[in-house]
A and B are shown apart, each in its own frame.
Chain A
Amino acid sequence: MPGKTRHSPLKNADRDYLALGLEGSANKFGAGIMKHSKDGSTTVLSNIRHTYITPPGEGFQPRDTALHHREWALKVIDECLVKSGVSMHEIDCICFTKGPGMGAPLQSVALIARTLSLLFNRPLVGVNHCVGHIEMGREITGAQNPVVLYVSGGNTQVIAYSRQCYRIFGETLDIAVGNCLDRFARIIDLSNDPSPGYNIEQEAKKGKRLVSLPYATKGMDISLSGILSAVEAHTLDKKFRSKGASDNSLEEDIITPQDLCFSLQETVFAMLVEITERAMAHIGSKEVLMVGGVGSNERLQQMMAIMAQERQGQVFAMDERFCIDNGIMIAQAGLLSYRMGYETPLAKTTCTQRFRTDEVHVAWRA
């Protein structure tokens, strides 16, 4: 990686620091407690999450999601504290997702964070959800200076770090890749348990036929809404069999939902690999870090690894504990901010649905 090594502005911890992180920007509510020790090590003390799963064919609406968080948050936070063995009095700062995400769910979590802050007299730290994913990825995988592919239900961005800012190199021009996959899962009535993306991945493994879908990279960016329309159009094709292949193997020229899952994944993942490769070529990086819920898809990891190996590089990925929205990533990014002297005054702890990754001043990195 070109460039001289700079000293990290983040000084060594003079004592142990503990942060509580609360996340609720989409349909998962997560609470996590992170410890930054005096010896420089970091430890995940606990990471508890509860997901709002809707019936097949339905997505999650803001109001119901907010109700879910209001119902589950206190139980999850309690379990998180018990599991960590730490009491609220020992926590140094209360970190919460300021944005981006869905308004009502974000606000529900912020209310709890503020109440805890006032009860225990601890500062609040508002965290950018995307930066949370990136910082947790860096922490867990140890990647030094990777191109970050952040892919989830709400976001699809290719990010690289430069001069205290996570710069967006490429992104979706319309919907996120996870959103595209989730909406297709609804079209074919797949279960949302544990998540629609996971079920699409399993169905795709049984696909036998690659159906032609538009391939829509636009320079460094991608467009996904057209592909969603196209794959939906295939379900209206007379060759489509919604129940999958029947035992009657006379029917060979058919399209099954498994074929469409497979085709959709192959197409959109190839597009993601392409724009990631463009960013890698642009900055001369040999590392890819995959974060966000869709980053736990093993087929995407495999395709990314093939590209990275061709460039003598490597892929860093995590399992669903840290890929899918969680509280510990908010604690991690929040604690890094806090140790650099950043706090969010109470009056500024509103949430915002639009919060760009590059709006954050990454003070803790050189």
Chain B
Amino acid sequence: MSDDWHSVTLKIPFASEKHALIAKQTIQVDPELQPHAVKRTIEVRGNFLVATFSTLTVRLARLASNSFLENVDLVVRTLEQFSEEAEKPPSS
């Protein structure tokens, strides 16, 4: 990996470490469309989801971060809608 690549780090807080882990596991399944030009790491630190993108071009840095943030948004909205129901004990 060259030193002259671009890099972007995104740090997103979640309500809990559990939710951050759900986001990580959900998003990391899909590989980057151009793995030779975009290197991605996703990890959880406390309540934070931290993603780093190292890309060959500025354009790829924009695309990778944009797509990642869109995915995070979708996961966050899904968690928002369903996490309360999930916390409730199932009534038999």
Contact = CB atoms under 8 A, between A and B. Distances in A.
B90 A87 contact: yes
A90 B90 CA distance: 8
A70 B90 contact: no
B45 to A, nearest CB: 19
A74 B81 contact: yes
A349 interface: yes
B90 A115 contact: no
B79 interface: yes
A346 B22 CA distance: 11
Contacts, number: 60
A111 B82 contact: no
Given A108-B74, A120-B86, A114 B29 contact: yes
Given A346-B25, A347-B29, A74 B86 contact: no
Interface string A110-135: 11101110111000000000000000
B82 to A, nearest CB: 6
Contacts of A116: 78, 82
Nearest to B76: A115
A78 B81 contact: yes
SS of A interface (majority): helix
B75 interface: yes
A350 interface: yes
A350 B74 contact: no
B29 A119 contact: no
Contacts of A349: 29
B30 A107 contact: yes
A88 B86 contact: yes
Contact of B78 (A107, A112, A347, A350): A112
A111 B79 CA distance: 11
A119 B82 contact: yes
Given A118-B22, A119-B22, A111 B86 contact: no
B64 to A, nearest CB: 15
A6 interface: no
Contacts of A115: 22-23, 26, 75, 78-79, 82
B74 A70 contact: yes
B81 A119 contact: no
B77 interface: yes
A123 to B, nearest CB: 14
B83 interface: yes
Contact of A111 (B75, B83, B90): B75
B71 interface: yes
Contact of B26 (A88, A89, A111, A120): A111
Contact of A89 (B79, B81, B90): B90
B27 interface: yes
A88 to B, nearest CB: 6
Contacts of A114: 25-26, 29
Given A89-B90, A90-B90, A111-B74, A118 B83 contact: no
* The 6 A-B residue pairs with the shortest CB-CB distance in the complex, in nearest-first order: A89-B90, A114-B26, A115-B78, A118-B22, A119-B86, A115-B26
Given A87-B90, A111-B74, A119-B78, 18 more contacts: A70-B74, A74-B77, A87-B85, A88-B82, A88-B85, A89-B85, A89-B90, A107-B30, A110-B30, A111-B78, A114-B25, A114-B26, A115-B78, A116-B82, A118-B25, A119-B22, A346-B25, A350-B29
